Amino acid sequence: EAGVTQSPTHLIKTRGQQATLRCSPISGHTSVYWYQQALGLGLQFLLWYDEGEERNRGNFPPRFSGRQFPNYSSELNVNALELEDSALYLCASSFYRLGPTDTQYFGPGTRLTVL
């Protein structure tokens, strides 16, 4: 069974640009979660999508946004990039309908570097 996949592996942008990160969940999973792992800040919850809807959002500014497509894959968009957005962005998926605490399985991440 294929795991969670993310693309690209690495992304280099300059300040002010926009970045788009992509995630494909495990087949059958309906929920996608995004986390930011920044140096010194640890892992922080960004966004949760389920059945195409944004269900929860972490303490991040509105320039962090995303969406979930009908096939349950997801995009994370970061607008007006700032240097502190440099981080590893992890995507996770779960089958929410099994129960609200179904285990989240993670992808390998996208390393975003903002110059």
Partner 1 sequence: AQTVTQSQPEMSVQEAETVTLSCTYDTSESNYYLFWYKQPPSRQMILVIRQEAYKQQNATENRFSVNFQKAAKSFSLKISDSQLGDTAMYFCAFMRNQGAQKLVFGQGTRLTINP
Contacts (CB under 8 A) with partner 1, residues 31-70: 31, 33, 35, 42-45, 48, 55-56, 58
Tokens read off for 6: 């993310």
Tokens read off for 19: 């970045």
**Contact (Cβ atoms closer than 8 angstroms) between residue 90 and residue 104:** no
C-alpha to C-alpha distance for 32 and 59, rounded to whole angstroms: 17
The verdict on 98 binding partner 1 (CB under 8 A) reads: no
**Closest separation between CB of residue 35 and partner 1, Å?**
7
The verdict on 2 binding partner 1 (CB under 8 A) reads: no
**Closest separation between CB of residue 43 and partner 1, Å?**
4
Closest among 96, 97, 54, 95 to 76, alpha carbons compared: 54
Q: What is the contact surface with partner 1 in residues (CB under 8 A)?
A: 31, 33, 35, 42-45, 48, 55-56, 58, 88, 90, 92, 96, 100-101, 103-109
